[in-house]
A and B are shown apart, each in its own frame.
Chain A
Amino acid sequence: MSDLLIRGGRVLVPARGIDAVLDVRVRDGVVTEIGTALEPAGGRVIDAEGCIVTAGFVDLHAHLREPGFEQKGTIATETEAALRGGFTTICAMPNTEPAPDSAPVFEALMERLAREARVRVFPLGSVTRRRAGKELSEIAELAAGGCVAISDDGNPVADGRLMRNALALASAAGMVLSEHCDDPELNDGGVINEGRVSERLGLAGQPVAAEVAAIARNIALCEATGARLHIAHVTTARGIELVAGAKARGLPVTCEVTPSHLFLTEDAVAGPGPEPAYDTNARINPPLRTEMDRWALVHALNEGTIDAIATDHAPHAIEDKLCEFDYAAPGIACFETAAGTLLTQVARGELQLARVIEALTSGPVLAWGLDSREKGLGSIEPGGVADIVVLEPGREWTVDATAMASKGKNTPLQGATLTGRVRVVVVGGEVRWESEESDG
């Protein structure tokens, strides 16, 4: 494999304390040199002046839909979307049909990924068989087959005793359990955040208490077992307070937040007009919350309480969204807008750039121990894998869902102008994607 030189960019590797204008040399799929005034060695040179150079993004929460829901997305289309969004490693949720709840299903999925995927994919196994919340999957065998984490995705493990056992078994097998924290009874029938907008629009609400109560229970079970607990997509101010408290007590808890919950509020459902739009593209589970909650998440990310920014990328077919709000499938196709919204928030002065990059790279890698799978993942370091993203922080662009690589065109950001985008993406030392106007 040939030599690649990324020259003159602001190299930002928060975990290693690097934030300086530097050159990065890549050879044979690994980073070989970071320094100043590196000379080209005959390979491609990318001029990254004015750009930010970081490790490829690592997403702990994405939905590829294959097998089972190929009308919404496939491994090929959704990993292409991930690539364009700067995500060089993604962890795929197990809400497929069949669900990876046993070694044979998991192995078949790994084979399919090896053939089709455009980026690194670590699929999750399910906590329970068929994600039905009744009987545990064969957790140790999943771990032996290479599974990094387990989750029942959108089906919270409602049975506390089962959850306790799953945590203990997963931890013993060296896996993290990622949990969608929600009390299904409190949430029954809810489609958006319970509050001003739900009452105004006459939609059934999902109360904050449903998330907070489930986070509290799961932290208690984490404490009881000493097992690793990852709390998926925290959305509430009270929820993040509980996570901060658990971390302060030294519990092995990590958490993630989505770009959607950092950028949008429940008002996106009503839309900007005088009459409510009932925008089904803003339906997501857990729901978009209030401005107060959004600010709490922004603050927690800047403070370091949040380990990872995870997209919860959830592509849907047109007919899944072009319908009555109550019937619409929840989820946002997020891969290709994530960097844009996050950099926009950096430009606005809401988010700190170094914290955003950390939460997109080394944060998730450390949270789930992914560096043991691939040396140097989430970092730019000599001898480490060369997954690298070049970002243009000041570049303005307009979201056009029809131009997205994802099969899912379901974004509430259609037509929005964002500041900052992905320019070049390197996977394993190979330039695998660059934006059209890139002059590299």
Chain B
Amino acid sequence: MADETISPDAGSWRRKDLLDTDTLSREEIALVLKTAEAMAEVRSRPMPKVATLRGITVVTLFYEQSTRTRASFEVAGKAMGADVVNLTASGSSVEKGESLVDTVRTLEAIGADIIVMRHSKSGAPALAARTTKARVVNGGDGQHAHPTQALLDVFTMQQHLGDLAGKRVVIVGDILHSRVARSNLWALMALGADVTLTGPATLLPQTLVGASEAGRCRTTTDFDAAIEGADVVMALRIQKERQATGLIPSLRDYIRGYQLNETRLARAKPGALVMHPGPKNEGIEVAPSVAAGAASVIDEQVANGVAVRMAVLYLMAGRAA
């Protein structure tokens, strides 16, 4: 249980909180990814644990359900010796009507050093971060941001493609309501990738990307054209309630235009990566044969999630080597 092999300098991480990727510099992203490589090495050891975060208390505070994010933060914290406390809205004082501000203050008083937070409302982690001296890591807020998902996605892309500058990434689905799409977009643009956002007209943002950034991000309703020559295709989960609210006529109609299937994947660059942040609706946004196919790195994304979240917790805890 030694941590002397974790070399990146946590002292160069200057942020109190990690709320989104949109203000991260290329250097900050590189620091997280480099640290994550060291963490992946730790995870590959026969005894995949270190004691780096012994004495640090990490609280996962989840107002919205989650499998991957909550479990991987817990595994990440425990792999570095942190005390990890898991709270969900149901079964806590939130059910008794306690406000977010009071809950966060309570956690600080209990001794939380890092609060990992998931919330269905955009901006909730920003409110929490202003409220507490504890460090706040956004584990996904509403339709706003999901920075650790984006960091694990670019980590996975880099493992396969190397430098992402000039690489073509297509994100397909409900972009308008997707925190994953937003945080990926900012991280990918910082790393110099070309990003195309595609989906039905009702699920595409109109003005998300400013004119000055337009050269590196395109928006189109034509998935078949967008996927031509792509290095990475990331499909997003389509929520079934989008049909009920009239944003799409039917799932059948969505599948016809936007399902990532083998015919469409054949138009991408040979060896292009297939990604999905999960949870998947197989047979809707992605064909089962593609999700399980040779090009799919979906399971790697999940595994990398632990290493990237270890890196984030390590840097946030400020325990320089």
Contact string against A for B residues 132-152, beta-carbon threshold 8 Å, 1 for contact and 0 otherwise: 000000000111110000000
Interface string of B151-181 (1 = CB under 8 A from A): 0000000000000000000000000110100
* Chain A binding surface SS class: loop
Decide: B19 and A324 in contact? CB cutoff 8 A.
no
Cα A277 to Cα B123 in complex, Å, equals: 8
User: B89 to chain A: which residues have CB within 8 Å?
Assistant: none
10 tightest A-B CB contacts, nearest first:
A278-B123, A202-B144, A202-B143, A202-B122, A324-B121, A199-B205, A196-B207, A199-B208, A326-B121, A274-B23
Instruction: Add 12 more A-B contacts to A199-B208, A275-B126, A325-B121 (CB < 8 A).
Output: A195-B206, A196-B208, A199-B176, A201-B123, A202-B141, A202-B143, A202-B179, A203-B143, A275-B22, A277-B126, A323-B101, A324-B124
Decide if B309 is an interface residue (CB 8 Å cutoff).
no
How would residues 252 to 284 of chain A score, 1 for a CB under 8 Å from any chain B CB and 0 otherwise?
000000000000000000000011111000000
- Judge if B320 is at the interface, Cβ distance under 8 Å: no
The residue among A202, A278, A325 with the most chain B CB atoms within 10 A of its own CB is A202
Alpha-carbon distance A201/B101, docked complex (angstroms): 20
Task: Determine which of A200, A277, A278 lies in contact with B208 in the assembled complex, contact meaning CB atoms within 8 Å.
Answer: A200
B231, chain A: closest CB distance, angstroms: 26
The 19 listed contacts between A and B (C-beta, < 8 Å) are A195-B206, A196-B207, A199-B205, A199-B208, A201-B123, A201-B144, A202-B123, A202-B177, A202-B182, A203-B122, A275-B19, A276-B144, A277-B126, A324-B119, A324-B121, A324-B124, A326-B121, A326-B122, A327-B121
Residues of B bordering A, CB below 8 Å: 19-20, 22-23, 99-101, 119, 121-124, 126-127, 141-145, 176-177, 179, 182, 205-208, 210
A276–B179 CA distance with the chains assembled, in angstroms = 14
A195–B122 alpha-carbon span in the complex (Å):
16
Could you say which of A199, A322, A325 contacts B123, with CB atoms under 8 Å apart?
A325
User: Nearest chain B CB to A268's CB is how many angstroms away?
Assistant: 14
Q: Which of A177-225 contact B (CB under 8 A)?
A: 195-196, 199-203
Interface size class of A (residues with CB under 8 A): 10 to 19
Taking CB atoms, residues of chain B closer than 8 Å to A325 are 121-123, 127
Cross-chain contact B207 with A276 (CB below 8 angstroms): no
Can you name the residue of chain B whose Cβ is closest to the Cβ of A277? B126
**Which chain A residue lies CB-closest to B142?**
A202
Residues of A within 8 A of B (CB): 195-196, 199-203, 274-278, 319, 322-327
How many angstroms between the C-alpha atoms of A196 and B126 in the bound complex? 19
B196 → A minimal CB distance (Å): 17
Partner of B207 from the list A195, A277, A278, A323 (CB cut-off 8 Å) is A195
Give the distance to chain B from A388, nearest Cβ to Cβ, in Å: 43
Task: Tell whether, in the assembled complex, residue B207 and residue A202 are in contact, meaning their CB atoms are under 8 Å apart.
Answer: no
Q: Which residue of A lies closest to B23 (CB)?
A: A274
Q: Which residue of B lies closest to A200 (CB)?
A: B208
Q: Are B123 and A276 in contact (CB under 8 A)?
A: yes
Q: Which residue of B lies closest to A191 (CB)?
A: B122
Contacts of B205 in A (CB 8 A): 199
- Whether B99 contacts A322 by the Cβ 8 Å rule is yes
B182: which A residues are within 8 A, CB to CB? Answer: 200, 202
Cβ of A323 and Cβ of B123 under 8 Å apart? no
Inter-subunit contact B20/A275 (CB<8 Å): yes
Residues of B within 8 A of A196 (CB): 207-208, 210
Residues of chain B within 8 A of A203, CB atoms compared? 122-123, 142-144
A314 to B206, CA, bound (A): 32
Query: Which residues of A are found within 8 Å of B176, using beta-carbon distances?
Result: 199
Which residues of B sit under 8 angstroms from A201, Cβ to Cβ? 122-123, 144
CB distance from A330 to the nearest CB of B (A): 15
- Please indicate the chain B residues that have their CB under 8 angstroms from the CB of A202 in the complex: 122-123, 141-145, 177, 179, 182
Bound: A214/B211 CA distance, A: 31
List of B residues within 8 angstroms of A326 by Cβ: 121-122, 142
Shortest C-beta distance, A198 to chain B (Å), equals 9
Q: Are B99 and A319 in contact (CB-based, < 8 A)?
A: yes
A283 to chain B, nearest CB (A): 11
Q: Collect the chain A residues with CB atoms within 8 Å of residue B20's CB.
A: 275
Measured CB to CB, the nearest residue on chain B to A195 is B207
CA–CA, A319 and B101, complex, Å: 10
CB neighbours (8 Å) of B143 from chain A are 202-203
Residues of B within 8 A of A322 (CB): 99, 101, 127
A277 to chain B, nearest CB (A): 7
Tell me, in angstroms, the Cα distance from A278 to B123 when the chains sit together. Answer: 6
Min CB–CB distance A71 → chain B (angstroms): 15
For residue A195, which residues in chain B have a CB less than 8 angstroms away from its CB?
Answer: 206-207
Q: What residues of chain A lie closer than 8 Å to B23, measured between beta carbons? A: 274-275
Closest to A278 in B: B123
Are A324 and B127 within 8 A (Cβ)?
yes
Which residue of B has the minimal Cβ distance to A197? B207
Across-interface contacts of B207 in A (CB, < 8 A): 195-196, 199
Query: Whole-angstrom distance from the CB of A212 to the nearest CB of chain B?
Result: 17
Chain A residues with CB under 8 A of B206: 195, 199
Q: Do A323 and B100 touch across chains, with their CB atoms under 8 A apart?
A: yes
Docked Cα-Cα span, A199 to B207, in Å, equals: 7
Inter-chain contacts of A324 with B (CB < 8 A): 100, 119, 121, 123-124, 127
Residues of B within 8 A of A199 (CB): 176, 205-208
Residues of B near A274 (CB, < 8 A) are 23
**How far does the alpha carbon of A199 sit from the alpha carbon of B181 in the complex, in Å?**
12
Closest to A322 in B: B101
- Across the two chains, which residue of chain B brings its CB closest to A188? B245
What is the minimal beta-carbon distance from B106 to any residue of chain A, in angstroms? Answer: 15
Chain A residues whose CB sits within 8 angstroms of the CB of B144 once the complex forms: 201-203, 276
Q: In the complex, what residue of chain B is closest to A324 when comparing beta carbons?
A: B121
